[in-house]
Amino acid sequence: MSWFFKRATAKPPVMTLEGVLGPNSRLDEARSISVDRPDAIAIDAAGRLVFSSGASVFALDHFNDAPRLVHAFDDTVTALAASPDGRLAIGLATGRMHVLDPAGKASSWDFHANADAGPVIDCLFGDGDEIVTLQSGYPSADAALSMAPWEPARRGVLAAHLPDGGVRRLAGELHCPMGVTRDRAGDLVITELDAARVIDAKGRVRRAGFPAYMGRIRKVDGGFALACLSRRDPLIEFLRTERRFVDEMKSTIDPRHWISPRANPEFSADFPIELGATRLFGEIKPWAPSFSYGLIILLDEDFMPIGSAQSRANGRRHAISNALAWKGDLVAVSRASGEILNLGSVT
């Protein structure tokens, strides 16, 4: 009978979607503009909202304006950052970084990040002329969602690059990092998708136990906005204790179909647990089982949750890849619905 009392091999997150993180419909109620394959957003030196759309970068002066093309590339844009002097850093799915000058033209500074760590998933301008890049170690955000919950691999890299080609490795062996920003003291902090925590570049944990698969993090008034690619799923957390099942799943099934969080909110009986969402009168309930979810967690300056915005199981604005403050409003990207959302006042 010893198997009945076997010890769990993984601990679930401490936080739950209750209290200040209780369910709501802020994401579903937000104003929006449709964008083809959106992912990253930033605020440039002129105060414009800059966003990626597939292999292109566009800019908005005001939310309801028609977007203007900034630059088009040969591959998907995966990261954006703006400098105070008007430059724009753009990361591509190939791992290549390009820097546009204040006039929006390609500069002579472009470089390839760590070739073994996948595309640049996030970036920012550092001290002086440095550009800090973050790589998750996975070939794409979708691959990270599928695989990171089941792999112990720590391939993520945080590095600083100089125009003369110099590189400083700031942190390595990160477990699927997805976002980087600076805290109130100016130190770099990193989110790790499945480890459910915020750490600094030295590996010290600033806050752990988040109820989500974490994306990028950005400063807002009073703290930070944490974009989440999905909520933590109870089935996945349970299966962490079932190593034999997981080993068989990984050895016999394509990673795209592993029991993992997903960006797409489409329901189908072909996916695990999701028949439970539609069997009652054919209607998807907000509390239905779902591997996709829309979630932004608002944090104070100590990374403690103080609020949230959600699109629940019956919504479509899932897979929030980025959220930031622009002109006093909270603006976010829903990869699942292909929209940029304006949620109104951050507070």
Following DSSP, what letter does each residue of 276-307 receive, concatenated? HHHTTTT---TTS--S--EEEEEEETTS-EEE
Cα 98 vs. chain centroid, distance in angstroms? 21
Per-chain mean pLDDT for the chain = 90
Query: What is the predicted pLDDT for the residue at 117?
Result: 85
Query: What is the predicted pLDDT for the residue at 3?
Result: 43
277-280 contacts at long range (C-beta below 8 A, 24 or more positions apart): 277/313
Distance CA 70, CA 104 (A): 7
Listed as ranges, residues in the chain with pLDDT below 50 are 1-9
Query: What is the predicted pLDDT for the residue at 7?
Result: 46
Q: Of 161, 100, 96, which Cα lies nearest the Cα of 125?
A: 161
Q: Of 333, 279, 304, 280, which Cα lies nearest the Cα of 79?
A: 333
Instruction: Give me 77's structure tokens.
Output: 């844009």
What's the pLDDT tens digit per position in 4-35?
444 444 565 778 899 999 999 999 999 999 99
Instruction: Give me 51's structure tokens.
Output: 């966003």
Instruction: Give me 147's structure tokens.
Output: 């695989």
Q: Of 229, 79, 60, which Cα lies nearest the Cα of 159?
A: 79
Strand pairing report for 205-208 and 197-200: antiparallel
Query: What is the predicted pLDDT for the residue at 236?
Result: 87
Q: What is the pTM of this model?
A: 0.92
